Structure 1
C-alpha cells in the first residue's frame, strides 16, 4: 500500500468517524429535547444509554441503571412482569409495550408507559433497541377517579330501582284492586334493574358471572327465571351473537320481558311442554331476532285488541331501537320478528359502521 492510498483511507476513516460523532451528537440533542424518557440497548438487551429526561425523572446517578439495573427502578410488584415481557421481546423481536410503576426521584412510584422497537439491518438482524418511557400517572389517576364516580352513580341507580319497587309494593297494599297492575309494574322495573346491572360499569369483583357483555349472555340471564326445575332453558337461544351495551339494554330488556311474561301467562311457556326458540341473525346491515313459540295453546285468531305489553314491545323496537316489529299469529304459536339496524345494539358497532362509510 503506497503512502497516498494510506493517507486517503485514513482521511476516509476520519470523515466517517466525524460523521458518526455528529450523528450521535444530533441524536442526543434530539433525545434530550423530548418530553419522554428515551433509552437504548444493545441487541442482547443491555441498557447503555438514557437521555437527560430519565435522570431528571428518576434522580439516579449517571450510569447507575446501565445493564440490568433498570429493573430495580420498577415497583417490586411489577418487576417480574416487566422483565418477563422484555425477555420475550428480546427472544422474538416483537415490540415491547407495558405499563408499570417507575420510582420517581421523590421516592413515589408513578405509572409509566414503556415502549421499545428493534432496529434491524438489511439481513433482518436486530442491531439495537430504542425505547421510551412516558409518565401516565396523572391520566391513570383520572381514570381511577372516573371509575369510582361511575361505580357510585351505578350504585345509586340500583338503589333507586329498589326504592321504586318497594313504593309500588306499599301502594298495592293500600289499594288491593291495583295488585295485578302493581305486580306487572314491579316485574318491569325488575327487568330494567337487571338490564342496568348487566351493562353498568363493573370492577372485577362486581362483574356479572353470566359471561361477556354480549346479547346472548344478557338474554340467557334474563330468561333464566323461566327455566325448568332442573335448570334446562325453555327459551332456547340460537344464531349469531352480537356486541351489546347500555345503548340497547333498556329497550331489549323491556321487549323480551314482555314476550316472556306473555308466553308464561298465555302462550308456550304456560304449558309444561311448551318451548320458545329465539334465533338471532346478522344479515348485511340488519340484525334479525325471531321469537317462535311452540307447544302452547292453539291460536284460533289474532287478538282484536293490543294490550299495554304489546304497545310497549312495539315502542321498544320501533321508537327506541329504530327497527320494525312484526307479529304472526300462527296456530301453533306466536311468531315475533324484530328487524333492527345492525348498529342498534352497541355504540362500538355504530362507530365502526360510521368509519366504514367515511
Structure 2
C-alpha cells in the first residue's frame, strides 16, 4: 500500500487545508523511508497518519491506530505519564520528548525515544504535530552495562583500604571512592576538578602540581609523597600514585590513582634516619680519633711518620667510603652519585683533582654499590691514587688519570689509565704494602681480579669483579 493511501485512510474531513497537498505527500513518501517510526497529529493531538514502519513494527492497521488508538501499544504502567506529558505539550505548544516502551508485533516491549515538534502557521498557531519514535534498545543495553560496570567499580574501589580517584585525560578529577571522603571529611563533589590540591599541605602543593603536570604531559607514572589534610584538620603523610589507562591506539582515556597513608612509616623512617646519622657521626669520630692517635704516635717516633701518614690516608679513605655508602634519605644524600660506584670513586679522587677539573676524568656506566663493596673499592682507589701522586702521572702537573666504569655481562670492570707522568722503564720489583692491600681487597674481599700493565706511557690497571659482590641487594650473593 502506498504511503498516500495510509494518509487518505485516516484523514478526517475537518483536517485544515494549510499545507500544500503536494509538499505533504512528498514528506509522507520520505518519512516511509526513514528507519524511525513517524506520524502526524492534528493540533489537538489526534493522530491522522503513521508511516509504514510504525505498522510494520506494531503489527497494527491504520484503522486501529487512528486518533488515540496508539495507546493500545503502550505499557499500561507508563501510559499515564505519557498522557500527562503529551497533554501538557498540546496545551502549551511546547515540543515533547520522552523515552518509553512500545509493544512490537511479537508482543515484546522495546524502549523508544519519542520526539514531537509543533508546526505553526504564519499566525503562530499550531496546526500540526510531527512525531518520531526511535528504538534505543542497544543504547539502553549499553547504559545498563555501563551502570553495572560502574556499580562493580564503585563496590570494588569502596572496598579497598586505599583512597582511589580517577581523572579525565586532561587531569580533571571526576571520581573519588568512599575512603577519600571518609578520610578528608569533604562533601561529595567538593574536591572535583582542581579543588583536590587545596587538601594538600601548603608546603607540598607546588611539588605535587609540578609532578602531576609532568605526568600529564609525558604519560609517565605519577608518584609523590605529600601531606594530606584529614577530616580533623591534621596533616598526614600520603603516597600518591597514578597510572594512565590507554585505548587500543595508545591514547590516554583516563588516569587511575590511589592515595595510601604512610604517616607512621614516614615517622619511623625519619627516626631511623636520625639514628643512622647519629651512628654514622660516631663512626666518623672513631676514624678521626684513630687518625689523631696515629699522628700523636708519629710525633714521638719520627721514624714512623711515613708509615703513619699512609695509615692516616687509608683511614680517611675508609671514612669517606663509609659516609658515602651508608643508607641515605633524600635529605641526607650528598650528591646525585649516592650509592653509585662512580660517585664513590669521584669522592676518593677529590683531593687529587685540579681547579679546572680535567686532571682526572671519570666516565662509564651506573653501578649500584653499598657498604659491602664500598670499603674494599675505596681502599683500592685510594692506593692507586696515592701511588700515582708519589710516583706516577699525578706526581707532575701535566699528568692525568682517566677512569672508566663499565658493565661486561655479570661483571663490572674499572679501567684506570695514567698518562703524562714519568716514563716507566721497567716493571717494579718491590711490591709494597699498598699494592698488597689493593690485591687483597679485590681478590679476597670482592672475589675479583686486578691486573697491572706497566706501559711506558703510564700505569694501566684493570679491576674486574662480579656486580653481585658489590652490594647486599636481596637475592644476590652476600
**TM-score higher than 0.5 here?**
yes
Query: What is the CA–CA distance in structure 1 between the aligned matches of 2:447 and 2:419, rounded to whole Å?
Result: 24
TM-score, length of structure 2 as denominator length:
0.60
Higher relative contact order (CA 8 A, sep 6+): 1
- Counterpart of 1:186 in structure 2 is 312
Instruction: Specify whether residues 81 and 291 from structure 1 end up closer, same or farther in structure 2 by C-alpha distance, changes over 3 A only.
Output: closer
Instruction: Specify whether residues 136 and 169 from structure 1 end up closer, same or farther in structure 2 by C-alpha distance, changes over 3 A only.
Output: same
Select the residue among 449, 462, 465 that pairs with 1:337. Answer: 462
Structure 1 residue 108 and structure 2 residue 234: aligned?
yes
Structure 1 residue 5 and structure 2 residue 94: aligned?
no
- Counterpart of 2:270 in structure 1 is 144
Query: What is the CA–CA distance in structure 1 between the aligned matches of 2:280 and 2:160, rounded to whole Å?
Result: 41
TM-score, length of structure 1 as denominator length:
0.77
Select the residue among 28, 33, 41 that pairs with 2:159. Answer: 33
Instruction: Specify whether residues 106 and 310 from structure 1 end up closer, same or farther in structure 2 by C-alpha distance, changes over 3 A only.
Output: same
**Could you tell me how far 1:165 is from its partner in structure 2?**
0.5
**Could you tell me how far 1:219 is from its partner in structure 2?**
2.9
- Counterpart of 1:159 in structure 2 is 285
Structure 1 residue 248 and structure 2 residue 373: aligned?
yes
- Counterpart of 1:172 in structure 2 is 298
Q: Which runs of 5+ in 2 are unaligned?
A: 1-53, 59-72, 74-102, 113-136
**3-state SS of 2:315 partner:** helix
**3-state SS of 2:109 partner:** helix
Instruction: Specify whether residues 5 and 45 from structure 1 end up closer, same or farther in structure 2 by C-alpha distance, changes over 3 A only.
Output: farther
**3-state SS of 2:104 partner:** helix
**3-state SS of 1:337 partner:** strand
Query: What is the CA–CA distance in structure 1 between the aligned matches of 2:339 and 2:345, rounded to whole Å?
Result: 10
Query: What is the CA–CA distance in structure 1 between the aligned matches of 2:299 and 2:366, rounded to whole Å?
Result: 42
**Could you tell me how far 1:315 is from its partner in structure 2?**
0.3
Pick the structure with more helix per residue: 1
Answer with 3-12 or 251-260: which moved more: 3-12
Query: What is the CA–CA distance in structure 1 between the aligned matches of 2:244 and 2:366, rounded to whole Å?
Result: 38
Q: Which runs of 5+ in 1 are unaligned?
A: none
Instruction: Specify whether residues 138 and 318 from structure 1 end up closer, same or farther in structure 2 by C-alpha distance, changes over 3 A only.
Output: same
Give 1 or 2 for the bigger CA radius of gyration: 2
Mapped contact 1:32–1:51 kept (Cα < 8 A): yes
Query: What is the CA–CA distance in structure 1 between the aligned matches of 2:457 and 2:220, rounded to whole Å?
Result: 59
Instruction: Specify whether residues 159 and 66 from structure 1 end up closer, same or farther in structure 2 by C-alpha distance, changes over 3 A only.
Output: same
**Could you tell me how far 1:130 is from its partner in structure 2?**
4.4
Instruction: Specify whether residues 173 and 59 from structure 1 end up closer, same or farther in structure 2 by C-alpha distance, changes over 3 A only.
Output: same
Instruction: Specify whether residues 165 and 63 from structure 1 end up closer, same or farther in structure 2 by C-alpha distance, changes over 3 A only.
Output: same
